A and B are shown apart, each in its own frame.
Chain A
Amino acid sequence: MFRWLQSQLPKIVLAPSFAAVTVFVYGFIGWTAYVSFTRSKLLPRYQFEGLLQYRKLWQMDRWYVALDNLLVFSVLFILFCMVLGLLLAVLLDQRIRVEGALRTIYLYPMALSFIVTGTAWKWLLNPGLGVQKVVREFGFENFEFDWLVDPEMAIYTIVIAGVWQSSGFVMAMFLAGLRSIDDEIIKAAYIDGASLPRIYFGIIIPSMRPVFLSAFIVLAHLAIKSFDLIIVLTRGGPGYATDMPATFMYAMAFSRGRIGLAAASATIMMVTVIAIVVPYLYSELRNKGND
């Protein structure tokens, strides 16, 4: 008996974590998904009601605004982060003596909470006293920058703050990817007479496809989860002009007492993330082989 316990010890040790994940991840997902099919408002009701919450969701203007914002934000956020990250990575790859210091500077925003970052940018982009005032002091007297309170433009302030925060991380990923390319291929190309840009565009960047994919997945993931930054920068406003699914869900769940609706929005967020991440994970685990 004791011997059997001994041999099962590894599994016993793993069990609590696995159980926790089962309950707190999969169990909870199941609960949320189920509630999204009920009439729950302030309290959960467990009567299955079909797709009524989803129908309500797709009838809400606010939800469409949230989705639209998510799309705009994601595209710009991912695009700018990747471009900036790649640019900085390529520049840093050029044998600079102070590379370490530069890397530290480009990356430190990642160490900050989104709330801290948001606070800083909220001040920097302050309509009266921020960027607008500074540029006017440079002589451009009619410069206006009130994006933060402009329903049309507010979403772009979130893009700015987000890119500032996360581009360093993308740079670090790309730099690691650049450096992992076999030196000898580069040397061979150099001896063959290829110019520097040619080497970059023809050899290095194409072989970084896996890193691009990883970066894309991480950024997409970050974008969908955006919550902290929005809350502190604009609180979802003006009105709900900068709402995104995450803030929408939070409002429905904790302020409006419409948890069925909140569950539906959360479930949709979940499905979107799965659709992007699972195929990627699956192919990664497969490629890593059976160890």
Chain B
Amino acid sequence: MTESRFSAAGAAGTRMTFGRWLLFAVLGLFVLVYLLPLYVMVGTSLKDLEEIRAGSMLSWPETLTLAPWIKAWGSACVGIQCEGLKGYFWISVQITVPAVAISTLLGAVNGYVLTKWRFRFDNIIFALMLFGCFIPFQVVLLPMARLLGMLGLSGTISGLVLVHIVYGIGFTTLFFRNFYIGVPNELVKAATIDGAGFLTIFIRIMLPLSIPIIVVTVIWQFTQIWNDFLFGVSFSAGGAQPITVALNNIVNSSTGVKEYNLDMASAIIAGLPTLIVYVFAGRYFVRGLTSGSVKG
């Protein structure tokens, strides 16, 4: 557990003073605030429509049914098709996995070059690449749509993979570059004298010690790409749509009766992968967030 800075000076209150009670009360309150939506989502997804309309949002389901889930997965209507989310889930997987892998690999090798094989203007090149992380993507939507159309990649999985790789390179390069700066240059010198070349050093020396940052980068990229909506909705009209787009379609469909339990179940299905990754590897996620932004 983490030590507070006050521990050496005599711990400002491990005893249960009033201040301490207040502290826990406030923290507890916020736990409720943050968990409430999740609780309501899960609860609602397990109720039938009548109970939803008649009862309170906060109550635990009495009817406890899995029907909404089954419908969400297998037969919910997204646009004209009523095949549920399973197809879209699979599409998201096909988009996310290659995009994460390739953008991470590129980020690693770029970070390696920028820190261990310095050359003239490399700082400027890095700055230019980094800048790509910060642009509002609205400014590339139109030309990208046209380009994908020209390449015949509109509405395809490959098209979205390309998009996510290109706009992920900035972040992944940043992560690896910041990490590799901390790796002593003497390692590369020693390996050079030992006879290893550019690629050998990367594969046999840099990559093995990069496991921490690879994890951070993969988690970050996975979260960003799986959760993406803007690119998904802009470039997939009529074609392969990721699950976030499908979810929006379900939730905002103007036809038929509003099935709140279906909406909730769908949302949870869509959010589950990144949530699971977060629960099991959350600290790496946090490391990614803070290292990318605080350190700049």
Stretch of B7-15, B73-81, B206-214 with 4 or more beta carbons under 8 angstroms from chain A: B7-15
Known: A115-B248, A173-B289. A273 touches B136 (CB 8 A): yes
Name the B residues within 8 Å of A249 (CB-CB). Answer: 138, 141
Name the B residues within 8 Å of A27 (CB-CB). Answer: 143
Q: Which residue of A lies closest to B198 (CB)?
A: A9
Name the A residues within 8 Å of B248 (CB-CB). Answer: 115, 231-232
> Which residues of B161-176 have CB atoms within 8 Å of chain A's CB atoms?
165-167, 169-170, 173
Q: Which residue of A lies closest to B110 (CB)?
A: A17
> Which residues of A87-104 have CB atoms within 8 Å of chain B's CB atoms?
88, 91-97, 99-100, 102-104
Contact of B296 with A288 in the complex, beta carbons under 8 Å: yes
Closest CB in chain B relative to A16 CB, distance in Å:
8
Q: Select one of B113, B123, B293 contacting A13, CB under 8 A.
A: B113
In this assembly, does B244 line the interface, its C-beta being within 8 Å of a C-beta of chain A?
yes
Q: Which residue of B lies closest to A136 (CB)?
A: B56
In this assembly, does A153 line the interface, its C-beta being within 8 Å of a C-beta of chain B?
no
B12-41 Cβ-contact flags toward A at 8 Å (1 or 0)? 111000000001001100110111111011
Contact of A14 with B57 in the complex, beta carbons under 8 Å: no
Closest CB in chain A relative to B113 CB, distance in Å:
4
Name the A residues within 8 Å of B187 (CB-CB). Answer: none
Contact of A133 with B117 in the complex, beta carbons under 8 Å: no
Q: Which residue of A lies closest to B292 (CB)?
A: A218
Q: Select one of A13, A21, A133, A225 contacting B169, CB under 8 A.
A: A21
In this assembly, does B264 line the interface, its C-beta being within 8 Å of a C-beta of chain A?
yes
Q: How far is the CA of A93 from the CA of B5 in the complex (A)?
A: 9
Known: A104-B282, A124-B57, A227-B229. A91 touches B135 (CB 8 A): no
Contact of B41 with A120 in the complex, beta carbons under 8 Å: yes
Closest CB in chain A relative to B249 CB, distance in Å:
10
Closest CB in chain A relative to B278 CB, distance in Å:
4
> Which residues of A1-43 have CB atoms within 8 Å of chain B's CB atoms?
6, 9-11, 13-14, 16-18, 20-22, 24-29, 31-33, 35
Name the B residues within 8 Å of A232 (CB-CB). Answer: 247-248, 251-252
Contact of A88 with B6 in the complex, beta carbons under 8 Å: no
Name the A residues within 8 Å of B26 (CB-CB). Answer: 91
In this assembly, does A56 line the interface, its C-beta being within 8 Å of a C-beta of chain B?
no
Contact of A187 with B8 in the complex, beta carbons under 8 Å: yes
A71-107 Cβ-contact flags toward B at 8 Å (1 or 0)? 0000000000000000010011111110110111111
**Residue tally, chain B, CB below 8 Å to A:** 106
Contact of B57 with A111 in the complex, beta carbons under 8 Å: no
Name the A residues within 8 Å of B125 (CB-CB). Answer: 14, 18
Known: A24-B144, A176-B290, A187-B9. A109 touches B139 (CB 8 A): no
Chain A interface bracket (under 10, 10 to 19, 20 to 34, 35 or more): 35 or more
Q: How far is the CA of A262 from the CA of B198 in the complex (A)?
A: 46
Q: How far is the CA of A35 from the CA of B127 in the complex (A)?
A: 26
A100-138 Cβ-contact flags toward B at 8 Å (1 or 0)? 101111111111111111111111101001110110010
Known: A104-B279, A120-B37, A130-B57. A111 touches B285 (CB 8 A): yes
Q: Which residue of B lies closest to A20 (CB)?
A: B166
Contact of A119 with B139 in the complex, beta carbons under 8 Å: no
Name the A residues within 8 Å of B279 (CB-CB). Answer: 104, 108
In this assembly, does A270 line the interface, its C-beta being within 8 Å of a C-beta of chain B?
yes
In this assembly, does A290 line the interface, its C-beta being within 8 Å of a C-beta of chain B?
yes
Stretch of B61-69, B83-91, B152-160, B266-274 with 4 or more beta carbons under 8 angstroms from chain A: B266-274
Closest CB in chain A relative to B266 CB, distance in Å:
8
Closest CB in chain A relative to B224 CB, distance in Å:
10
Name the B residues within 8 Å of A31 (CB-CB). Answer: 142-143
In this assembly, does B294 line the interface, its C-beta being within 8 Å of a C-beta of chain A?
yes
Q: Select one of A10, A91, A214, A253 contacting B117, CB under 8 A.
A: A10
Stretch of A45-53, A57-65, A143-151, A164-172 with 4 or more beta carbons under 8 angstroms from chain B: A164-172
In this assembly, does B50 line the interface, its C-beta being within 8 Å of a C-beta of chain A?
no
In this assembly, does B277 line the interface, its C-beta being within 8 Å of a C-beta of chain A?
yes
Known: A124-B40, A137-B56, A173-B289. A96 touches B27 (CB 8 A): yes
Contact of A211 with B37 in the complex, beta carbons under 8 Å: no
Contact of A99 with B41 in the complex, beta carbons under 8 Å: no
Contacts from A to B (Cβ < 8 Å): 6, 9-11, 13-14, 16-18, 20-22, 24-29, 31-33, 35, 44, 88, 91-97, 99-100, 102-124, 126, 129-131, 133-134, 137, 164, 168-169, 172-173, 176-177, 179, 181, 183, 186-187, 190-191, 196, 211, 214-215, 217-218, 221, 224-225, 227-228, 231-232, 235, 245-246, 249-250, 253-254, 259, 262-263, 265-267, 269-270, 273, 277-278, 281, 284-285, 288, 290-291
With A113-B247, A176-B290, A281-B296 given, name 16 new contacts (CB 8 A).
A17-B129, A24-B132, A29-B140, A95-B2, A102-B27, A107-B286, A122-B251, A123-B41, A169-B289, A173-B290, A211-B294, A232-B252, A265-B138, A266-B139, A278-B131, A291-B115
Can you name 16 A-B pairs with beta carbons within 8 Å? A13-B109, A13-B198, A21-B166, A24-B140, A25-B140, A29-B135, A32-B139, A95-B6, A102-B27, A106-B30, A119-B267, A173-B290, A186-B6, A231-B233, A245-B138, A288-B296
The 3 closest A-B pairs by CB, nearest first: A95-B4, A113-B227, A111-B278
